[in-house]
């Protein structure tokens, strides 16, 4: 066999060594597989003429999306306050909704409604109790 016939074999052997070395690097121990945060919980709420309600009123710590419908005749802002959270959205028009998305820590939060016009009586705020952190979302399938 000539020297020309051996070159393809040597090239193929060298390529196999390079590929094997590259695949071995894929199993590097430095990869961190940190758990995902808990799955976002959707809460619903309603602004009525005398009170604000949120359901469920008790959840575990983690990300939440609170969608609140205004069922009054006046526009209202919606506020979420507690811990390090102090956020307001709106004004929300009558029959419209707004959503507050936050990651909540353990504690007590108040969801309140306010308006630019003086109302004859105060709208009682809802209380949201946040307990221990919910489990990781790592084992839930088909999540973004």
Q: Which residue ranges form the domains of the chain, and what is each CATH number?
A: 41-133 (2.60.40.420)
Sign of the alpha-carbon dihedral angle for 80, 86, 89, 93: positive
Q: Token pair of 80, please?
A: 């979420």
| Longest CA–CA separation in the chain, Å | 103
| pLDDT at residue 37 is higher than 70 | yes
> Quick check: 74 pLDDT over 80?
yes
DSSP string across 1-43 = --HHHHHHHHHHHHHHHHHHHHHHHTT-TT---PPPPPPPEEE
Give percent of the chain above pLDDT 70: 69
């Amino acid at each position: 066999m000539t020297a020309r016939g051996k070159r393809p074999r040597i090239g193929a052997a060298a390529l196999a060594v390079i590929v094997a070395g590259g695949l071995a690097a894929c199993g590097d121990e430095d990869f961190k597989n940190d758990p995902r945060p808990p799955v976002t919980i959707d809460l619903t709420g309603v602004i009525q003429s005398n009170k604000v309600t949120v359901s469920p009123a008790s959840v575990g710590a983690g990300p939440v999306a609170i969608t609140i419908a205004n069922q009054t005749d006046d526009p209202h802002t919606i506020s979420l306050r507690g811990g390090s959270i102090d956020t307001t959205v709106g004004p929300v028009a009558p029959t419209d909704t707004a959503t507050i998305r936050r990651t909540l820590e353990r504690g007590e939060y108040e969801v309140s409604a306010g308006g630019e016009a003086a109302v004859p009586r105060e709208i009682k705020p809802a209380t949201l109790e946040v307990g221990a952190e919910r489990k990781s979302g790592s084992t839930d399938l088909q999540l973004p």
